[in-house]
Structure 1
Amino acid sequence: MRSLLPAALLLPLILAACGQQEVKAPADYALSGTIGGDWGASPRLRLALVGTGVPVAVTNDSGIAQNVVSTGVNMWQYGFDLPGIPGVAGVYQVVAFDDANNDARLTLGETVARNRLWLIFSPAAGTFGPLDLPESWPGGGELLPQMTVSRGWNVYDRSVALGDGNPRSVGKITNYDISR
């Protein structure tokens, strides 16, 4: 009986480790916003972190914890967990896509939408860029100008001139809205 006791105590821990990740409300994730627009009938909307790092490290990761919730016709709220430290300095975006083949991966040919906000990760404060993105990346070839960033995640709004507050250092990112 004594030899079964340690196994019996470990069983709940083993089962808990095998369980699914907790699904949170969209606003409880590190990055949140809305997805809008016409995605067709019954889309399977997912999100992916895409980008490029320095030195060359292309990211297309849709396996990050996320939650997409319909809030009406052609409107969804979502939450997405940004990695704590992506490993390299880089320029990223969270994109929405219709996972047409239901493989939980952003695949060439699937409908994609993004916005004009770039997520810049820097392991140290200082000057970042300039940077050309690979042509194969959605929206690739665009030049990111040289800018001053803080350590960690920064948001650069491409629709606003560089300067005070652009880019800005962020912890939690809200209103990262994406539309088709």
Structure 2
Amino acid sequence: MRAAALLVLPLSLLTLTACRPQNVRPPEAYPLSGSVAGDWGQNPHLRLALVGTGLPVAVTNTSTIDQNIVSTGVNTWAFGFDLPTIPSVAGVYQVVVFDDSNNNARFDVGESFARNRQWLVFSPVDANLDAISIPEYLGGAEVLPAMSVKRGWNLYDKAQPLSGANPSPFLKLSTYVLSR
């Protein structure tokens, strides 16, 4: 009986540990961090979502990724966001901030949102990518040019000319700015 109780105890502890809520980290502890600014109205419920498209055409719209948004003053927030490891899918993504007005933890059509002109390009290998069209619901008119990327996450700033430094690979990015 005593031996059986000793076997059950570790299983009980494992179950309790698995049910424990994740620790919320300060924004700067996440792989992607930056700031949000602008008028979002009274008491907005701001969340972040990773949106974009993988190749071949796997549309992504997920806001269940670990994140933290902290008010830093009137109409300003700092945020941190985990980037998923996608080992076999190349893709082009943005992190958008949105007012989760229906509180369902999902970026829905019609909710106020903001994005920028910086694209997060993921590649499982160093590669030369062909030009990429963006889904219509993200403003389909924007098309990324053919570019060379490194393995992992790369930042392409559409406001800057394509060059040897744009796009650039990163492990941690702390300058992602979203503003309305």
Give TM-score scaled by structure 1 length: 0.96
**Range with bigger deviation, 10-19 or 165-174:** 10-19
Rounded Cα–Cα distance in structure 1 between residues aligned with 2:165 and 2:15: 47
Amino acid at match of 2:179: S
Deviations 1:8-38 (A, max 9, x none): 2221111111111111000000000000000
Q: CA deviation at 1:45?
A: 0.3
Compute the RMSD of aligned alpha carbons.
1.0
Rounded Cα–Cα distance in structure 2 between residues aligned with 1:141 and 1:21: 39
**Which position in structure 2 is the counterpart of 1:79?**
80
Identity %: 55
**Range with bigger deviation, 59-68 or 139-148:** 139-148
Q: Between Structure 1 and Structure 2, how many residues are aligned?
A: 179
Where in structure 1 are there 5+ consecutive unaligned residues?
none
Q: Secondary structure at the match of 1:47?
A: strand
The question of whether the paired residues in 2 share the 8 Å contact of 1:31 and 1:79 is answered with yes
Q: CA deviation at 1:86?
A: 5.8
Amino acid at match of 1:6: L
Amino acid at match of 1:176: Y
The question of whether the paired residues in 2 share the 8 Å contact of 1:33 and 1:176 is answered with yes
Q: CA deviation at 1:85?
A: 1.9
Amino acid at match of 1:98: D
Rounded Cα–Cα distance in structure 1 between residues aligned with 2:53 and 2:109: 17
**Which position in structure 2 is the counterpart of 1:31?**
32
Q: Secondary structure at the match of 1:177?
A: strand
Deviations 1:33-53 (A, max 9, x none): 000000000000000000001
**Which position in structure 2 is the counterpart of 1:128?**
129
Rounded Cα–Cα distance in structure 2 between residues aligned with 1:27 and 1:133: 29
Rounded Cα–Cα distance in structure 1 between residues aligned with 2:107 and 2:24: 21
The question of whether the paired residues in 1 share the 8 Å contact of 2:128 and 2:148 is answered with yes
**Range with bigger deviation, 36-45 or 126-135:** 126-135
Q: Secondary structure at the match of 1:85?
A: coil
